[in-house]
Amino acid sequence: MVKQSTFGWLLVNLLSFYHRAPKWLRLISFELMEQLVSSADLYVVQTEFTVYTLLRYWMALKLFPDEGTTDGLEHPKERYFAERTSSVPFLSTPEGVPYERVFRALRLHNLLNHHVDIRVLRQDNIIPIEWLHKPLMQQWTNVLTIDQSLDKPIACEDRVFLESCIRCGRILNENVLHKWRWTGFHFGLDLLLSSDTRSLRIRRHHRTENERLLSLRVARQFLVRVSLASLNELRQIKHQQTSPILSISLEKNEETQLVVFDRELTFPLLVSVNMMLVAPPEEAIAAAAASGKGAESKEKDQATAAAAAAATTPQASERAPNQSVEGTGGNGPVESLDGGSSASSSNRMLANES
């Protein structure tokens, strides 16, 4: 029970806290990090690219343990990867091979929906370009299929959804109206999320001046799951709420409610959203079916990995108070959230819209 609780603590706090606590991030083992990054229950702050930048930071901490670090600031050697003169991807070098399995846990197809993210991936030259060929072909095939309105309704088992979905999230500091979108190309869907005092809603935003970039289907269907968590001063979960996997169909500019907040939830509030906007590839379905046979052994592996988490979890007196990594919204404007950081890419927040 303690091991599971510790692992659950890390799933919620890895992206929202550990990027500001290098001395604790460095202690996370290869096995434990792989388990965390691969989990569908990981609370991703902003987008999947945030997970990539965290892994890059964690790897720099591991490779250069003697370099001084300051909480919340870029590691002095984090630019080491982009500044290497060798054309060999870092994960293909002898010093990079031990990190390969952790980076394999990234959902690569979800790192390829923004041109800045792709540019950073190429500049860093950490991930071999060969890893990206298949995801790129899958994404491009999906784009062409949707452009010709040949896409079919998405239906899959829960396990397939959890292992393939897009992972996004944010922190709501105050109990006020928030409106936002996550940046990047989402296969012709411009999805706006809004949170009032007690619920979360989603809207298919469709403006005529952007029609060529948006799906022209009258109705678009997709799958979504929402997880919410309130933390105490020790960043332990006070209350958590998770919706079932919902099948949503929205017409242009239509809006629907995703979840009504439990009364026990308090602010600041962590919001984790898992989405599937296109049908999963056939190999994902086959892999999920195969992995189902070994589900019990995988759970045992997670429990073993969680045992190591106790050593990487800061004591109560050393944990930072619950803070947001991005600003809160006011009445009206729509925030556009990306997965980059000042250390990894330029600020690409889109212009706010009313």
Domain ranges in the chain are 1-148, 158-276
- Provide the phi-psi class of 149: left if phi over 0, else alpha when psi is between -120 and 50, else beta: left
d(CA 219, CA 251): 4
Q: What is residue 241's predicted lDDT score, i.e. its pLDDT?
A: 96
Which fold, 158-276? 2.60.210
**Mind listing the pLDDT tens digit for each residue in 309-318?**
555 555 443 4
Q: What is residue 75's predicted lDDT score, i.e. its pLDDT?
A: 64
Q: What is the DSSP string of 248-305?
A: EEEETT-EEEEEEPPTT--SSEEEEEEEE-SPPPHHHHHHHHHHHHTHHHHHHHHHHH
Torsion of CA 3, 230, 324, 256, to 10 degrees: 120
Q: What is residue 255's predicted lDDT score, i.e. its pLDDT?
A: 95
Helix (H) or strand (E) holding 8: helix 2-13
Per-residue pLDDT band at 149 (split at 50, 70, 90): confident
Q: Residue 352 carries which DSSP code?
A: P
124-138 average pLDDT score: 95
Sign of CA dihedral 208, 211, 212, 213: positive
Q: Are strands 335-337 and 178-182 parallel, antiparallel or unpaired?
A: parallel
pTM above 0.95, yes or no: no
**Mind listing the pLDDT tens digit for each residue in 41-53?**
999 999 999 999 9
353 exposed, middle or buried (CB, 10 Å; 0-12, 13-18, 19+)?
middle
**Quick check: 19 pLDDT over 90?**
no
207-213 average pLDDT score: 61
Cα angle 71, 72, 78 (rounded to 5 degrees) comes to: 95
Q: What is residue 346's predicted lDDT score, i.e. its pLDDT?
A: 35
